[in-house]
């Protein structure tokens, strides 16, 4: 609990420091939830030595199995603290909270997220899909969502996502899979009600604002790269496809992702959708799309898959094996593999064993696994540092 509460003290103070408590338009005018302890007026962060270098050194000393576990984000539908602690004792890099994990009260949720932390010196990534509106796991989130934000000034997006980020952090959660960078003007699209804009430029402005706001509190995530807007269909049940060219993508669907990357998003979630003119494979399994994200967009953070269980749900025979999907995703360039749909308490361990076997057989290079593990560990170290190492700044004055 100490690590998670420390973050809330820092982020609550950050609200005062940056003036983010100022009421804004619509539902976003609500103030972020109060801290459980009175926060200091302002805070300052100590200089960090560089989590990337520390992560690289740590990964060098890890076994292949430890590296494999560190790139798996698992899930079990439980609110039992002992069961969650036992599950995370496998050394998994992260856990995603779904509706079945959310207890009745915020205090119970803080206890639950604390149970996921086996080693307080290196907490796992604890994630949630907290977009607001249609996709909202935390019941206390009554801030404005994309349904209204796309029609309001950009400042409303900043206010709403500041409040949302603070709420997520207060709960002991440090990763929000919450920023939709897909763009569509088609009301029949399954992503329309979740998108922050109906045109690339409008979406880009709001994605940038949402990212900047959330990064003050949690690690924000852009999704679903390279964008659902051009690919009709719901990836929870199929592999949506489009014949949009790379040039067309660069001029349209790419813009919100570029804006989010430039704003400092910590994670980029790859979707299970195919731009067949670029690669016939789903982007989540496409080395070409990972090259584009790294080389063209300049993204240097953690790349995470959308739920690999969705690939199984597509009904395509070649995607029926979750372990094979995880190996293929890592080989393509993902750093963190996420498994929710169809996951059992044994699934994460099976994925870890499969990744180890793939390295031993040469199907997955040891270098690629180490690279992925290093990126994930660097993010964990950075979030742990910003949680636990903020110090009071008694001489600072709040910004009016």
Q: State the catalytic residues.
A: 236, 306
Q: Which residues fall within 8 angstroms of residue 306, CB to CB, at 6 or more apart?
A: 223, 224, 235, 269, 270, 271, 272, 284, 338
CA pair distance 84, 92, nearest whole angstrom: 12
Q: DSSP assignment, residue 129?
A: -
What does the DSSP assignment read for 205-237? HHHHHHHHHHTTTSEEEEEEET-STTS-S-TTT
Rg over alpha carbons for the chain, rounded to the nearest Å, is 20
Q: What is the dihedral of CA 341, 345, 348, 354, to 10 degrees?
A: -110
CA pair distance 212, 208, nearest whole angstrom: 6
Using an 8 Å Cβ cutoff, are 181 and 132 in contact? Answer: no
CA pair distance 397, 400, nearest whole angstrom: 9
Query: What are the two backbone dihedrals, phi and then psi, of residue 82, each rounded to the nearest 5 degrees?
Result: -65, -40
Query: What are the two backbone dihedrals, phi and then psi, of residue 299, each rounded to the nearest 5 degrees?
Result: -75, 130
Q: Which residues fall within 8 angstroms of residue 54, CB to CB, at 6 or more apart?
A: 378, 381
Using an 8 Å Cβ cutoff, are 182 and 235 in contact? Answer: no
CA pair distance 359, 365, nearest whole angstrom: 6
CA pair distance 1, 112, nearest whole angstrom: 10
Q: Which residue has the tokens 């852009």?
A: 222
Query: Which residues on adjacent β-strands are paired with residue 305?
Result: 270
Q: What is the dihedral of CA 200, 201, 202, 206, to 10 degrees?
A: 100
Query: Which residues on adjacent β-strands are paired with residue 127?
Result: 96, 175
Which helix H or strand E contains 244, and what residues bound it?
A: none
CA pair distance 62, 105, nearest whole angstrom: 38
């Amino acid at each position: 609990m100490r690590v998670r509460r420390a973050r809330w003290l820092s982020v609550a103070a950050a609200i005062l420091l940056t003036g983010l408590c100022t009421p804004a338009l619509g539902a976003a005018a609500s103030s972020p939830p109060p801290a459980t302890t009175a926060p200091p007026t302002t805070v300052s962060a100590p200089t960090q030595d560089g989590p990337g270098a520390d992560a690289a050194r740590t990964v060098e000393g890890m076994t292949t199995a430890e590296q494999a576990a560190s790139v798996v984000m698992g899930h079990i539908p439980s609110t039992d603290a002992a069961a969650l602690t036992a599950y995370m004792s496998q050394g998994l890099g992260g856990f995603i909270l779904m509706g079945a994990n959310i207890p009745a009260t915020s205090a119970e949720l803080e206890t639950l997220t604390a149970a996921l932390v086996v080693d307080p010196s290196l907490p796992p990534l604890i994630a949630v899909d907290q977009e607001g509106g249609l996709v909202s796991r935390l019941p206390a989130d009554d801030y404005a969502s994309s349904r209204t934000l796309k029609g309001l000034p950009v400042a409303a997006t900043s206010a709403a996502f500041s409040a949302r980020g603070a709420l997520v952090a207060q709960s002991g959660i440090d990763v929000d899979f919450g920023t939709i960078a897909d763009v569509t003007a088609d009301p029949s699209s399954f992503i329309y009600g979740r998108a922050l804009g109906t045109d690339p430029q409008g979406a880009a402005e709001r994605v940038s604002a949402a990212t900047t706001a959330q990064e003050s509190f949690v690690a924000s995530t852009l999704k679903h790269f390279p964008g659902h807007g051009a690919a009709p269909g719901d990836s929870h049940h199929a592999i949506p496809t489009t014949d949009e060219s790379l040039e067309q993508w660069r001029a349209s669907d790419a813009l919100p992702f570029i804006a989010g990357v430039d704003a400092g998003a910590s994670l980029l979630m790859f979707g299970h959708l195919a731009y067949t003119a670029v690669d016939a494979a789903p982007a989540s399994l496409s080395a070409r799309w990972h090259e584009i994200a790294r080389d063209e967009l300049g993204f240097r953070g953690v790349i995470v898959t959308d739920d690999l269980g969705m690939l199984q749900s597509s009904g395509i025979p070649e995607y029926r094996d979750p372990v094979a999907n995880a190996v293929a995703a890592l080989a393509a360039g993902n750093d963190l593999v996420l498994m929710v749909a169809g996951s059992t308490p044994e699934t994460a361990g099976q994925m870890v064993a499969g990744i180890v076997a793939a390295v031993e057989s040469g199907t997955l290079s040891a270098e690629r696994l180490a690279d992925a593990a290093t990126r994930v560990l660097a993010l964990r170290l950075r979030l742990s540092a910003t949680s636990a190492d903020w110090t009071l700044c008694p001489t600072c004055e709040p910004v009016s």
